[in-house]
Amino acid sequence: MKINKHLIKNLDWFLPAMAVIITLVGIMTIFSATRPPDGGQHPSYFMKQAYWLLLGLLAMSAIVSFDYIWLGRAAYVLYVVGILLLAAVLIGGRSGMGAQRWLSLGPLSFQPSELFKLFFVIAFARYMATLKSPLKGTDIIKAFLMFAALPFAMLVKQPDLGTAVVLFSLFIALVLTKGVGRKVFAFIIIAGIISIPFLGNILWGELKDYQKNRIVAFMEPAVDPAGVGYHIIQSKVAIGSGGFWGKGYLKGTQGPFRFLPEKHTDFIFSVFAEEHGLAGCILLLMAYLALIYRAVDTARKAKDEFGRFLALGITFMLTAYTVINIAMTMGLMPIVGIPLPFMSYGGTALLGNFMAVGILMNIRARRFELFY
């Protein structure tokens, strides 16, 4: 579909600008975190991330070019495609770091769960837009069985506990946003409290040993500082050693000297905090808050229910990933393998995030159009 002048005029350039700025900061941090301390050959992670940035911008532009109403029409198809990709991972996915999460297509590997979370938001937003508020108990149960139960079980099986937790959180957030009666809300709270021990036992039985160790390390890192508690302890050391102003770019030690595991992925915030200190972290958090605030405002100004729930779902998703990642690097949550949006190394995650930004731009640009 050709982009007309009216659409270009209404495009919000603030959203992609903030996303690109955070991504560039991430690429710089990846470069610093993976640099060899002895001056040897530098790994190509930062260059690969730059290529994925370009691909993400192309995907974002493509999504903006057509009316997001078409996403609603293809929502359930996208959901089924996502389920099939998750099933393919369980059948013949590539394993790494104790989990089976990747699919390989020749030299290219990608993580389907990173795309599925966006497909889930699109499909569930479409479904929520068709329901009347407030939701009944049967509506919630039906929605959970239709959209959340199967992918949640498949993600736990991989295991990808972090994405599973985010998926369940998205479901709850969108249901509550739609609105529920007082009796239904009370029932959800009571049922949730009663089911915690049973669900805990089930999930604990599905967890791998390394995931159980992460929970133990969260409860008491000092129990095994050289083993299960090492990640959290070193992350705290990196963040604390940055002080207020930080050690300076390319002057951090936790990343290049390999004291900090997963320094360019899950713990990239720790590397950033060591080099830029509290002052830099405040600026970074302000950038995330500005991006999230714009996403909320986009939901508020959407022209229809589908657009509103779609924007809210993306907002909840970006917020959950940001909060969980930063919290786990500070030892406030167990380590669950959640990347920091736009910052952490990972091509599929970056591509999905820019596709999400493209959807937000699409909804915001067409907020003045008449619904049809």
Mind listing the pLDDT tens digit for each residue in 248-284? 998 888 777 777 778 888 899 999 999 999 999 999 9
Overall pTM surpassing 0.85 (yes/no): yes
CB 336 within 8 Å of CB 218:
no
3-state secondary structure of 343: coil
**Cα separation of 357 and 112, whole Å?**
18
pLDDT in tens, 41-87: 778 899 999 999 999 999 999 999 889 999 999 999 999 999 999 99
- β-sheet bridge partners, residue 56: none
**Cα separation of 368 and 332, whole Å?**
42
What's the pLDDT score for residue 110?
A: 80
In the chain, which stretches have pLDDT less than 50?
A: 1, 370-372
What's the pLDDT score for residue 125?
A: 96
Q: Contacts for 69-72 with beta carbons within 8 Å, 24 or more apart?
A: 69/306, 71/122, 71/310, 71/359, 72/122, 72/125, 72/126, 72/129, 72/306, 72/310
Which two structure tokens, joined as six digits, stand for 278? 């509290």
